[in-house]
Structure 1
Amino acid sequence: MLNSRIAEKEKEYASICKLRDISQEMSKKLELLAERLETLNDGSEAVSEVLQNWPTIFESIQLASQNTEALVRVPHTLDQNQPLNPSSHE
C-alpha cells in the first residue's frame, strides 16, 4: 500500500512539473504576444494619423486643380534693351 501511494505521488509530482514547464512556456508566449500587440498598436496609430491627413491632402489637391490659372506663371519676353535685373537701374 505504501509503495502504491509513493508511485501515485511520483506521478502527481511529474504532472505538476510538466504543468510548471508548460505554464512557463505559455507565460513566455503571452509576453511575446503582448510585445507584438504593442507594436501593432503603435503601427495602427501611425496609420490612423496618416489617414486623418488624407482629407486635407485631397482638399489641397482640389483647390490647386481649381486655381491652376493663378498658379501658372507666364514668363515675360525680354526686350533686347531691357536689363535682366529689373531692380537695377543704369
Structure 2
Amino acid sequence: MTGITTDGNTIDWTGEFVEVAPYERLVFTITDRPAEPGRATIVVELTPTPSGTRMRFTQETPGFTPEQQQGVLAGWQSFIDVLGQIVVV
C-alpha cells in the first residue's frame, strides 16, 4: 500500500491481516521498513452508536521515540480527517 503525506511524499507500507471480524474488529500489521523484522500491530474496533459507528484505532509502537510516536499520531489524524471528508452519512 502506498500513502501520500501532506507534503506530497510517498510511503510504501507492507503488512498482513491478522484478524478480520466483519463489522466488529480488524487487526493488521504494518511497516514501511520490510527488511526489518518489527511490525506495528494496529487494531480497529467498530462499535454501533445511536448516531452511527464509533471507530477506535490502537497502534502498538514498541521501540518508537516520542518523535516517532508523534509522527504516527499525526499520520492517523490526517487519515481520519480525509476519511471524514469522503464517508457518506
TM-score, normalised to structure 2's length? 0.27
Higher helix share: 1
Larger Rg: 1
Tell me which of the two structures has the higher relative contact order, counting C-alpha pairs closer than 8 angstroms and 6 or more residues apart: 2
In the superposition, the TM-score normalised over structure 1's length comes to 0.27
**1 or 2, which has the higher strand percentage?**
2
